[in-house]
Amino acid sequence: MTAVNLLQLRKEINALMWNFTDPDAFEKTLLELFEKYRTARNPAGTAILLTAHSAELNVPLIVLRELEIALFQTVADHPDAALQLSDRMMTTGAPEIRTIGARILGLAPIGYSNDVFQRIEAWSRMGFDTGELRVFIRSAGSLVRQADSERLLDQARSWVLSNEKKDQELGVETLIFLIEFDGFQNLPVVFSLLEKLLRTGPTTMQPELLELTTKLLDRSPIETSYTIRLILESETPGVMTPRIARKLLTEFTEPSRAAIQKLLRLQSGRA
């Protein structure tokens, strides 16, 4: 594998930015850039690393960092062109192009939050698989989370309350994304939605709900422990609640942990 020449990389990314207002040329040049560096290694010879936004890109972290630095300034200078470019990129068949299109949207200035949110709503219907869904919401939603987290929470609630599994998955991913942001404080709504999902959600969503519960334990361990305890004490705890409670038993706070452990033993005895 050849190493990344930083000076050459910056020249190539600068040339890419010159095509920012020409979606066809930008997409073509971006694909060529990714193809060139897909098998490259970092200058220090370390393993190839990927950002949380780029699970499908398979290029060295330094390439993504330099690309994001350039995009940050270019989007700030040309926000209208950025929206047009992201619109085009999100309709292409290439996953890596959609990933960068979502990231461009997420870099739009605060004043464009309405435009960003409208696109998040529309693009969430594009049939992403679970992995791409996570990349999309984290890439495109950073602006909305910062500017209007309550609006994003309202949308997450709508998705969770939907009867469509894909909507529910998107809702859970959005809730996880929100509670990772220290500026988001409306945890009671998240607990209410978690309770509904644990009681009635499809069991195929257990990994996502386990992650959501774990994130809530990080943010509010006492309230999370108490919530799980109350669900287990109810007549309809659902299938997933005891499963998740067993996996996270050591993470719960007292006195809820002892009560949860006792409830799990009682359930095992009845099984």
Is 43 inside a domain boundary?
A: yes
Can you give the pLDDT at residue 210? 97
Domain extent at residue 25: 1-147
Do 116 and 140 contact (CB within 8 A), yes or no?
A: yes
Give domain status of residue 123, yes or no: yes
pTM, whole model, 2 decimals? 0.82
Tokens of 25: 């040329």
- Residue 139 located in a structural domain: yes
pLDDT at 18: 97
Asked whether residue 117 is assigned to any structural domain, the reply reads yes
3: which strand partners?
A: 41
Does residue 179 fall inside a structural domain?
no
Please indicate, yes or no, if residue 242 is contained in any of the structural domains. Answer: no
- How high is the pLDDT of residue 208? 94
Asked if residue 68 belongs to a domain, the reply is yes
pLDDT of residue 57: 66
What DSSP string runs through the chain? -PBP-HHHHHHHHHHHHTTTT-HHHHHHHHHHHHHHHTT-B-TT-PPP---TT-TTT-S-HHHHHHHHHHHHHHHHH-HHHHHHHHHHHTTSS-HHHHHHHHHHHHTS-GGGHHHHHHHHHHHTTS---HHHHHHHHHHHSHHHHHH-HHHHHHHHHHHHTSS-HHHHHHHHHHHHHHHTSTT---HHHHHHHHHHHHHHS-GGGHHHHHHHHHHHHHH-HHHHHHHHHHHHHSS--TTHHHHHHHHTGGGSPTTHHHHHHHHHHHHHHH-
Domain count, the chain: 1
Q: Does 196 reside within a domain?
A: no
**Which residues in the chain land under pLDDT 70?**
1-2, 39-57, 93, 130, 269-271
Q: What percent of the chain has pLDDT over 90?
A: 62
Residue 96: per-residue pLDDT: 83
Asked if 205 contacts 168 with a C-beta cutoff of 8 angstroms, the reply is yes
